[in-house]
Amino acid sequence: MRFPTALMLFSLPSGLLAQSAIYVPYRNSAMWSSDTLYVGASFLYTGAASGGGGKWKGGFGTLEPITVTLKGNEAGWTGELWAVVQSATGKEEEVFLFTNHDAPGTSVDLRTKVSFPIPTGAEITFMYKVVAGCAFFGCWSITPEDQLPKYSGPNRGYDRHRSAATSDIMPNPNWRFGNRWSVVGRDKDGNLEFGFEDCTQAFSDMDFDDVVFTVTNLEIGIFNRKLLSKDLVR
Instruction: Identify whether the C-beta of residue 206 lies closer than 8 Å to the C-beta of residue 63.
Output: no
* Contact set for Ca ion, span 185-204 (CB under 5 A): 197
The distance of closest approach from Cβ of residue 20 to Ca ion in the complex, given in angstroms and rounded to an integer, is: 22
The distance of closest approach from Cβ of residue 40 to Ca ion in the complex, given in angstroms and rounded to an integer, is: 16
Cβ contacts of 106 within 8 Å, gap of 6 or more: 69, 70, 98
134 contacts Ca ion (rule: CB under 5 A): no
Question: Could you say which of 65, 205, 231, 233 contacts Ca ion (CB under 5 A)?
Answer: 205
Secondary structure (DSSP) of 26-81: -S-GGG---S-EEES--EEE--PPTTSTT---SS--S----EEEEEE---SSEEEE
The distance of closest approach from Cβ of residue 161 to Ca ion in the complex, given in angstroms and rounded to an integer, is: 21
Q: Between residues 207 and 219, which has the closer beta carbon with respect to Ca ion?
A: 207
102 contacts Ca ion (rule: CB under 5 A): no
Q: How many CB atoms lie within 10 A of CB 54?
A: 17
Q: Between residues 146 and 207, which has the closer beta carbon with respect to Ca ion?
A: 207
The distance of closest approach from Cβ of residue 229 to Ca ion in the complex, given in angstroms and rounded to an integer, is: 25
Instruction: Identify whether the C-beta of residue 37 lies closer than 8 Å to the C-beta of residue 184.
Output: yes
Q: Between residues 123 and 207, which has the closer beta carbon with respect to Ca ion?
A: 207
140 contacts Ca ion (rule: CB under 5 A): no
d(CA 162, CA 178): 10
d(CA 131, CA 154): 23
How many residues sit in the footprint of Ca ion (CB under 5 A)?
Answer: 4
Question: Could you say which of 47, 207, 220, 224 contacts Ca ion (CB under 5 A)?
Answer: 207
Give the interface with Ca ion as residue ranges (CB under 5 A): 197, 205, 207, 210
